[in-house]
Amino acid sequence: MRRAGFGPRERRRARELLARVALVDADRRILAAAAERAHLDVLAPA
């Protein structure tokens, strides 16, 4: 990235954006797993 003319500020910004996207992706996966578990609980209550 340094070769492309990006300074430390741009690199930090890109890293923050990537981290945010990764967090959103993880949240979506967690929510999907929780929804699936809740759905199974509704179908077969313990």
**What gap in Å lies between CA 33 and CA 41, rounded to an integer?**
12
Q: For the whole model, what pTM was predicted?
A: 0.55
Sign of CA dihedral 13, 18, 20, 21: positive
Number of structural domains in the chain? 1
Low-confidence ranges of the chain (pLDDT < 70): 1-2, 43-46
- Torsion (CA) 4, 10, 14, 16 in degrees, nearest 10: 160
**What gap in Å lies between CA 23 and CA 29, rounded to an integer?**
10
Domain that holds residue 1: 1-46
Looking at residue 32, what is its pLDDT?
93
Looking at residue 44, what is its pLDDT?
67
Looking at residue 11, what is its pLDDT?
94
Average pLDDT of the chain is 86
Query: Alpha helices of the chain — where are they, by DSSP H?
Result: 8-43
* In the block, residue with structure tokens 């929510």: 31
Length of the chain equals 46
